[in-house]
Amino acid sequence: DTGVSQDPRHKITKRGQNVTFRCDPISEHNRLYWYRQTLGQGPEFLTYFQNEAQLEKSRLLSDRFSAERPKGSFSTLEIQRTEQGDSAMYLCASSSPREEQYFGPGTRLTVT
């Protein structure tokens, strides 16, 4: 399978715990995006990497959120001290410059 993969697909955690999600993009894509989608809404941009450099972050990305792409391949998104408002689908997408973005299956986070 050469598509975008995300792990885990589902995560249930208690409020206050830390969680980490992983995204493996399509191997030749140098651009990687994280989006968040709450129930009944369209996705919203969180952050963007070009190779290993994080070039843009949304205001939605509070200081409890951190994302990395250490070798310009896979990326991780960590949420510290989770809150119930963090419950959402976290989507990863990758692309080449000026090409369409390909989405992973998403990680559904539920904070109880």
Partner 1 sequence: KNEVEQSPQNLTAQEGEFITINCSYSVGISALHWLQQHPGGGIVSLFMLSSGKKKHGRLIATINIQEKHSSLHITASHPRDSAVYICAARLIQGAQKLVFGQGTRLTINP
Considering the complex, state which of residue 16 and residue 44 has its C-beta at the smaller distance from partner 1. 44
Measured from the CB atom, the residue of 72 and 80 that comes closer to partner 1 is 72
89 is an interface residue for partner 1 by CB under 8 A: yes
When asked if residue 74 is in the footprint of partner 1 (CB under 8 A), the reply is no
CB atoms within 10 A of CB 71: 9
Binding of partner 1 by 108 (CB under 8 A): yes
Query: CB of 82 within 8 A of CB of 18?
Result: yes
- Which residues would be at the binding site for partner 1 (CB under 8 A)? 31, 33, 35, 37, 40-45, 48, 50, 55-56, 89, 91, 93, 97-98, 100-103, 105-106, 108
